[in-house]
């Protein structure tokens, strides 16, 4: 985290990659980060997959609900992956989870660019849901970190720019991830 802060990061994102592409860090790790991240910076954390349950049966929403009271400072946002959501009415589940968070904490759906591998809704479908439901932000990332490549390997830049432009017209911010390099930033911004 120190390197990110010293490097000028504006947002510190906490996740545990060994728990999956959006693996949630342990509650004690989140608690430590809530203290360690300087007040001037925003911080977020990954909550795992919206429909995923841990080994003991706790849903991502339950794990977040247990973790939040232990934090000295609440995060700006909590991200929920949408793997295995393509065949269900996931928007209702997401709305319920978002409503369970403190008012100051945003729930951010994660649209997987490699949605077929994740069994998730397409990026345009998630963006459309964000517009319909008034969600402020959508993160576009990859589910399969080993084999999917970067976002620019999966879609032409024009497609990505189209997503961003369409969402922006409706007041939805699109955050792009997935192995984008510093050299890629001008093309996708």
- Tens of pLDDT, residue by residue over 83-120, are 999 888 999 999 999 999 999 999 999 999 998 989 99
Q: CA torsion 71→98→143→44, rounded to 10°?
A: -30
- pLDDT confidence band for 189 (50 / 70 / 90): low
Higher-pLDDT residue of 2 and 156 is 156
Tokens 């592409």, residue? Answer: 21
Q: Which CATH class is domain 10-178?
A: alpha beta
User: Which tokens go with 99?
Assistant: 């409503």
CA distances to 32, 36, 69 from 72, in Å: 9, 10, 8
Global confidence as pTM: 0.91
- List the beta strands (DSSP E) in the chain: 11-14, 42-49, 77-81, 106-112, 137-141, 173-176
**Is 151 in contact with 142 (CB distance < 8 Å)?**
yes
């Amino acid at each position: 985290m120190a390197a990110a802060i010293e490097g000028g990061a504006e947002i510190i994102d906490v996740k545990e990659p060994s728990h999956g592409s959006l693996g949630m860090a342990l509650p004690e790790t989140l608690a430590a980060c809530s203290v360690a991240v300087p007040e001037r910076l925003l911080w977020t954390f990954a909550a795992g997959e919206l429909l995923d349950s841990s080994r003991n049966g706790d849903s991502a929403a339950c794990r977040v609900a247990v973790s939040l009271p232990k934090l000295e400072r609440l995060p700006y946002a909590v991200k929920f992956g949408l793997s295995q959501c393509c065949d269900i009415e996931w928007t209702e589940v997401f709305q319920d989870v978002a409503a369970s968070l403190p008012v100051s904490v945003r729930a951010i759906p994660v649209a997987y660019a490699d949605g077929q591998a994740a069994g998730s809704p397409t990026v345009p479908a998630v963006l459309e849901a964000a517009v319909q439901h008034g969600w402020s932000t959508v993160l576009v990332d990859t589910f399969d970190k080993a084999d999917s490549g970067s976002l620019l390997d999966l879609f032409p830049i024009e497609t990505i720019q189209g997503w961003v432009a369409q969402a922006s017209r409706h007041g939805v911010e699109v955050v792009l991830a997935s192995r984008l390099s510093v050299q890629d930033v001008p093309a996708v911004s």
